[in-house]
Each structure stands twice: as C-alpha cells, then as structure tokens.
Amino acid sequence: MNNQSLDRHSSDKDEPAFLLEDWVQAIKELHQWHYKLNQVINGKNSNEHIAINSSFKKDCQWSIENLIKLRLDLMYSLATLEKECDLVDETATLWQLNQHTKTIINWNKNIKNALGLDCSGTA
C-alpha cells in the first residue's frame, strides 16, 4: 500500500472513498505483481529473472513449479472472490470491500515473497 493510505487516521479508513482508493491501489499492485510472476514463469524476461534470482535468499527461493502453483492458486482465489462479490448485498458492500482489499494485499505480499523480493521485510 502507499504511504498516503497508511498515514490516514483509523476513522478515515472506514470512509467509502478511502476504502475504494485502497482497493484500487491493491488491484493495481496485484496486476503489477501478477505480471512479474508470469514473466518469471514464462521466462520472457531472462534479465529480470536473473536479477530476481540473484537477490533471493536461499530460504526464500521458490521453484518454478511452486511459482506456477501460486499462480494457479491466485487464479482460483480471484474466481472465488468474484463469486463472493456477486453474492454481496448493499449493506455488506463496504465491509466486504475492506475484506477483499486485505485479501488482495496479502496476495501481493505472497507474490513478492515468492519472487524473493520481500524476504527481508522490505520490498
């Protein structure tokens, strides 16, 4: 998440505009990290793959098979999230949006970790 959303007071975070802003930011980051994950899996950017691999700590390194499994898990989770969105009524919408944002942020962290970019606690 960006620092602007983290600097808000906790009461502000419940405002619909801020919830929507956080969700949009999380989706943008998911798109970015999913793209990087696909590049590494597909070997389309060998220079980036080498740079990512050289930054790996040994205990953070994921095999290509595990990266593929992560990508499949993400696709399944996205489909599940989409189904949940279809079932949500208007009264639960803001709460659900907040929960989905937290879920997407967690996916982003998982991808960064799998690529070895978040092993030391920093991105």
**pLDDT tens-place values along the chain, 123 residues long:** 444 444 454 556 668 888 889 989 999 999 999 999 999 888 865 455 444 554 444 455 678 888 899 999 999 998 888 887 776 666 567 888 888 899 999 999 999 988 887 655 444
Question: pTM surpassing 0.75?
Answer: no
pLDDT tens column, 74-100: 999 988 888 877 766 665 678 888 888
Among positive and negative, which fits the CA dihedral 13, 18, 23, 27? negative
Could you tell me which residues come within 8 angstroms of residue 119 by beta carbon, excluding any fewer than 6 positions away? Answer: 56, 57, 59, 60, 113
Q: What is the model's pLDDT at position 121?
A: 45
What's the rounded Cα separation, in Å, for the pair 83 and 77?
Answer: 10
From first CA to last CA, the distance across the chain in angstroms is: 11
Could you tell me which residues come within 8 angstroms of residue 66 by beta carbon, excluding any fewer than 6 positions away? Answer: 114
